[in-house]
Structure 1
Amino acid sequence: MEPPVRLASTGTITHGVSVGEVLGVSTLAGARLIAGERGLGRIVQRLNVMEVPDILAWVKPHELLLTTGYPLRNTPQSLGRLVADLDERGLSALAIKLGRYVDELPAEMAEQADRLGFPLIQLPDDVGFDDILNQVLTDILNRQAAVLARAEEAHRALVQVVLAGGGLNEVTAEVAHLLDVSVAAVDGSGRVLAAAGPAGGGGHMSVLCESLTHEGPPAAEADGARRRSFASVPVLAGGHHHGRIVAYSPSAAIGDSDVGILERAATVAALVVTRQEAVNAVESKYRADFLRDVLTGRAGTVERVTARARAFGWDLARPVTVLVAELDPDGDERSAQDRLVACWTAAIRRHDPRGAVAGFSHEVVAVVDASADVSKVAKDAACAFADAPPATFSTGTSRPCPGAETLPDAYAQALKAARVGRQLHGPGAVAHFDQLGVYRLLSLVNDTDELHAFVRETLGPLATDDDAENADLRRTLQALLETNLNVAETARRLHFHYNTLRYRIGKLERLLGGFTDDPHLRLNLTLALHVLRMRGI
């Protein structure tokens, strides 16, 4: 069963009329704006009548408050604070009839209204509150009905896109047509997946994508309606963030109802994304099964392998290199494996579009052009994977192979390089098969107890760090063996005096035997030191 699709709200979308539009109704033809002209764009969703002095307990946001001033007739001094209190509670405006109970408003009240952008309106004496309530509420309901009808029309059109098998290209095209703006669907990293409208094919695309980080206030139109140039809503499905639907209008023509349609589009986009993910999961399984058969020699003839690989967009008929990436221990493998596959897929796509990549149960395998810079490929994948620590992976690289028939051997080399590289260098290692040397042979010994016994028998007391001097003596021995017992070169490397080094050689021979005269003992000592370097042994 598909996971539920959940849409995150971008905020409260208000469907109503602006204060400026309220002043345009016929019953308020004789009304006069006293102060707060900057607030004519405030949205009115409901009306209320002030009948009691403690009105603050009963008001709600987006209200137009009507009053004759009767509740304030005995306490006119409270008018000075009333504007700030109403503005703090999100009211849209205050409309008052003067001359009956309150002769005039204090200058302080008008100044405060202008400072806060809170409209103060003087009502005509001959207009009843019931007429105002009836006409304004009718306009609000008509506006909301029109918005709902438009949203329903958009919903049907977008659902039809999904039912017809459309993808993100069709979704963005439909939204651009409905809103007459530029629309794009972008993924979590900001990469444009689909775009339509004026920005879809020209120079406005960069401006459109900047809307992802646009934090400026919405631009106000002359009629006071809340408008903006940019809008962005997230696409969420199954609890995962899949990107955003963004819109751009150079004329600041995106209103609240348009944002509501964008949210519906984000819901439909989430359906499209989850559907595509299900398709990708099936295709990914087929690709992984096929590549596993190729790497284990069970995929058939070279001609058949080449033809099937071409159907996946892979070129396995050329010289290639195999890379294996394995998650390092102590990571959360369940959550990290999918991310590892995604990072390697993106890296291969950038460096070799015809390269093959698939995720197995414990590793990711890539087959790339032999001329590709495999260290750079691995570095790019590691950089992307490092965005969400603490998991790490080790990478192994094979020798170049001429074609599909030798891929099983190359896969074995890359797998060996990944595992031995981790033993040598720890988590996050990148190792090439040709650089493993004798470690390839040592890694074939599955009996680690036997390896430990060999180290103890060969190095004697130097096999452990019980004494602080042991590690120092092992470094001296290592340098002597690497320089083929060249005392002068070893002294130079270790910054020792010649006589000091001669003294240490004598001490080493008393502990280990006469290795300066016994080539077989020198070989054993070299192997023992190599085993000690291998982590996890």
Structure 2
Amino acid sequence: MKLRSLLDMPELRLELVTGAEELDRVIRWVVTTDLLDPGRYLGGRELVLTGLVWRSGPADSEVFVRALAKAGVSGLAAWDLARGTIPDDLVEACARHRIPLFKVPEDVAFATVTEEVVRHLSGARAADLTAVLDRHRRLVAGHGTGAGLAAVLDLVGRDLGMRCWVLTPTGRVVAGPEPPPAGTALARAFLTAPRLPHRHAGTTIFPVAEDTTSRVADWFLACEGDAAEWPPERRALTTELAAIVALERARLDDRLSAEGRLAQELVRLLVTGAPADETTARLELIGLDTSAAFVAVAASSRGTGRGALRPGELRAVLTEAMPVPRPVVGLLDDEAIALVQIDDPGRDIADEIGRTLDALAPGFAEGGLTVGVSDVVAPAELRGAVEEARYARRLAAGRTAPVCVVRHDELATHVLLLASVPDDVRHMFKVRLLDPLRTYDDVHNADLIRTLETFLQHSGSWTRCAEQLHLHVNSVRYRIQRIEDLTGRDLSRLEDRVDFFLALHLT
């Protein structure tokens, strides 16, 4: 209940003396007091009633009102029956401390004010609870006719006057009234908030499935207002609403649908080298244009444990990042593969994906995401595009950014060449060249592998390598010398640098 509601109660006939700009404050309870300093008995958001027995002089008004302001009361209703007025010093003190002041008519008892306000408070809470139950009933009926989230949020806005939106972690608005909120800012607040619910820019942010889903793969609710001021029944409503959104998100997940199963089958056929006519037939079954151009995208989660995305979460994040609706997405163990049909071959899909995923970077406190994007190809060339995207994704895995997207034109020829070398040969080459360094690092914590990678990344520049590692140049020289001693190689020679470079990029 808000203060302005007091002016709409004809049985009380309260008059506003000062504080018209603060009438949206919420009343939690009613307290009557005649203490000069009642602060210890106040908990905040009360309507305080007083007969001014505490006032012996003008200075007392400042003491009394300052105590109310410090306690966080919502407003003050007063009348001095002995003097038949409200003193000017009390009005001035209330204006100074921004405490709304109401005049109580002399023929209205404080007990009447208390009774009426408490009755309205109880009625509002009961109405909210009834609304929750009724809304849940209408929701079940609504889903039977495909009403979806838009209808549910419309009910919340119409019945309770509380606008709510459902958004993704990239800031995309899934459902909600017009105009939409600043989705990017809300998404960043959702991803970085130390705990949820979280208040941001006049809204309160709630997770949809906090206990079961990583934030970067979850949806979230943004509701107008400060949830700290809501009664318990309204907080319960948001819990119900979050559960409803979770159900809707699960309903829209196509992994178990016929189309989702076809997408999974198509991705596996492409990876296993099925004939082009067989994969083209699957494209037609999914409903894609077999004369259009396509781009393949591969993604994998960085990190382990809590820092890594589960396969279903990885698939959800990649689907959200795609610049077209309903992309073909399948899973291969810990890797997700997407096929994107495009109408404009000149469209920079990698850049669009990168900008979308950059919005998720703040949500990766641990781990991250590596993504590879192929060149534009015809349907018959999709198998090669998938392999190209996977190679690019592996190259991205060697970089340190939380979210890293590597496009096809960043693929060096050595990546394609190494992919054709038998696994046992690649493994032996890598072991013989790098194992002495790994063993030395394990024993001495010398960081030789990282030093070698940084040295090669900076084309053998001692100064830039030292700056990157925050070391003195002499320390870098010492480490490089140790690397050469342990491996018998000379990093001033191009051939040896190439060998180290290849060994570091073998997977």
TM-score (norm 1): 0.59
Question: Does 2:5 match 1:18?
Answer: yes
Distance of aligned partners of 1:66 and 1:372 in 2 relative to their CA distance in 1, 3 Å threshold:
closer
Match of 1:360 among 332, 335, 343: 332
Would the aligned equivalents of 2:271 and 2:383 in 1 still touch at CA under 8 Å? Answer: yes
Counterpart CA distance in 2 for 1:438 and 1:64 is 74
Question: Does 2:284 match 1:310?
Answer: yes
Match of 2:417 among 434, 439, 442: 439
Structure 1 residues not aligned, in runs of 5+: 1-13, 200-204, 215-229, 249-255, 457-463, 466-470, 477-511, 513-524
Would the aligned equivalents of 1:398 and 1:411 in 2 still touch at CA under 8 Å? Answer: no
What is the CA-CA distance between 1:362 and the residue it aligns to? 3.0
Counterpart CA distance in 2 for 1:530 and 1:151 is 67
Distance of aligned partners of 1:367 and 1:35 in 2 relative to their CA distance in 1, 3 Å threshold:
closer
Distance of aligned partners of 1:258 and 1:317 in 2 relative to their CA distance in 1, 3 Å threshold:
farther
1:63 corresponds to: 46
Q: What does the per-residue CA deviation read over 1:213-256, in whole Å, with 9 as the maximum and x for residues that have no partner?
A: 79xxxxxxxxxxxxxxx9755352221451335679xxxxxxx9
Q: Report the more deviating stretch, 55-64 or 138-147.
A: 138-147
Structure 2 residues not aligned, in runs of 5+: 187-200, 435-447, 450-454, 461-488
Identity across matched positions, percent: 19
Match of 1:264 among 233, 237, 253: 237
**1:376-415 correspondence to structure 2 within 5 Å:** 376-386=348-358, 387-388=360-361, 391-393=368-370, 395=372, 397=374, 400=377, 403=380, 407-408=382-383, 411-412=386-387, 415=390
**1:153 aligns to what SS in structure 2?**
helix
Counterpart CA distance in 2 for 1:421 and 1:212 is 25
Counterpart CA distance in 2 for 1:128 and 1:402 is 83
Would the aligned equivalents of 1:287 and 1:358 in 2 still touch at CA under 8 Å? Answer: no
1:480 corresponds to: none
What is the CA-CA distance between 1:290 and the residue it aligns to? 0.3
Counterpart CA distance in 1 for 2:265 and 2:48 is 71
Distance of aligned partners of 1:37 and 1:324 in 2 relative to their CA distance in 1, 3 Å threshold:
closer
Question: Does 2:502 match 1:534?
Answer: yes
Counterpart CA distance in 2 for 1:129 and 1:421 is 71
Would the aligned equivalents of 2:371 and 2:393 in 1 still touch at CA under 8 Å? Answer: yes
Counterpart CA distance in 2 for 1:17 and 1:341 is 50
Match of 1:187 among 146, 168, 188: 168
Would the aligned equivalents of 2:38 and 2:67 in 1 still touch at CA under 8 Å? Answer: no
Larger Rg: 1
Distance of aligned partners of 1:532 and 1:396 in 2 relative to their CA distance in 1, 3 Å threshold:
farther
**2:308 aligns to what SS in structure 1?**
helix
Distance of aligned partners of 1:382 and 1:335 in 2 relative to their CA distance in 1, 3 Å threshold:
same
Question: Does 2:149 match 1:168?
Answer: yes
1:345 corresponds to: 319
Q: Report the more deviating stretch, 64-73 or 367-376.
A: 367-376
Distance of aligned partners of 1:71 and 1:294 in 2 relative to their CA distance in 1, 3 Å threshold:
same
Distance of aligned partners of 1:144 and 1:372 in 2 relative to their CA distance in 1, 3 Å threshold:
closer
Amino acid at match of 1:238: A
Counterpart CA distance in 2 for 1:212 and 1:416 is 31
Counterpart CA distance in 1 for 2:337 and 2:85 is 82
Distance of aligned partners of 1:334 and 1:72 in 2 relative to their CA distance in 1, 3 Å threshold:
same
Amino acid at match of 1:290: E
Distance of aligned partners of 1:398 and 1:324 in 2 relative to their CA distance in 1, 3 Å threshold:
farther
Would the aligned equivalents of 1:416 and 1:440 in 2 still touch at CA under 8 Å? Answer: no
What is the CA-CA distance between 1:264 and the residue it aligns to? 3.1
Counterpart CA distance in 2 for 1:140 and 1:421 is 58
What is the CA-CA distance between 1:370 and the residue it aligns to? 9.2
2:270 corresponds to: 295
Counterpart CA distance in 2 for 1:290 and 1:87 is 66
**1:357 aligns to what SS in structure 2?**
strand
Amino acid at match of 1:194: A
Match of 2:209 among 234, 238, 261: 238
**1:193-204 correspondence to structure 2 within 5 Å:** 193-195=174-176, 199=178
Amino acid at match of 1:309: L
Counterpart CA distance in 2 for 1:132 and 1:454 is 87
**2:330 aligns to what SS in structure 1?**
strand
What is the CA-CA distance between 1:83 and the residue it aligns to? 1.4
Q: What does the per-residue CA deviation read over 1:385-436, in whole Å, with 9 as the maximum and x for residues that have no partner?
A: 4442553536374795662xx6556645654565589789998654567934
Q: Report the more deviating stretch, 380-389 or 435-444.
A: 435-444
Counterpart CA distance in 2 for 1:441 and 1:122 is 84
2:69 corresponds to: 87
**1:534 aligns to what SS in structure 2?**
helix
Amino acid at match of 1:90: G
Distance of aligned partners of 1:136 and 1:293 in 2 relative to their CA distance in 1, 3 Å threshold:
closer
Amino acid at match of 2:348: K
Would the aligned equivalents of 2:26 and 2:74 in 1 still touch at CA under 8 Å? Answer: yes
What is the CA-CA distance between 1:168 and the residue it aligns to? 1.7
Distance of aligned partners of 1:212 and 1:527 in 2 relative to their CA distance in 1, 3 Å threshold:
closer
How large is the Cα RMSD of the aligned pairs? 5.4
Counterpart CA distance in 1 for 2:64 and 2:137 is 46
Would the aligned equivalents of 1:175 and 1:262 in 2 still touch at CA under 8 Å? Answer: no
Distance of aligned partners of 1:348 and 1:424 in 2 relative to their CA distance in 1, 3 Å threshold:
closer
Would the aligned equivalents of 2:221 and 2:242 in 1 still touch at CA under 8 Å? Answer: no
Counterpart CA distance in 2 for 1:450 and 1:183 is 58
Question: Does 2:218 match 1:280?
Answer: no
Q: What does the per-residue CA deviation read over 1:494-523, in whole Å, with 9 as the maximum and x for residues that have no partner?
A: xxxxxxxxxxxxxxxxxx9xxxxxxxxxxx
**1:21-36 correspondence to structure 2 within 5 Å:** 21=8, 24-25=10-11, 28-29=12-13, 35-36=18-19
Distance of aligned partners of 1:400 and 1:440 in 2 relative to their CA distance in 1, 3 Å threshold:
farther
Q: What does the per-residue CA deviation read over 1:466-508, in whole Å, with 9 as the maximum and x for residues that have no partner?
A: xxxxx99xx99xxxxxxxxxxxxxxxxxxxxxxxxxxxxxxxx
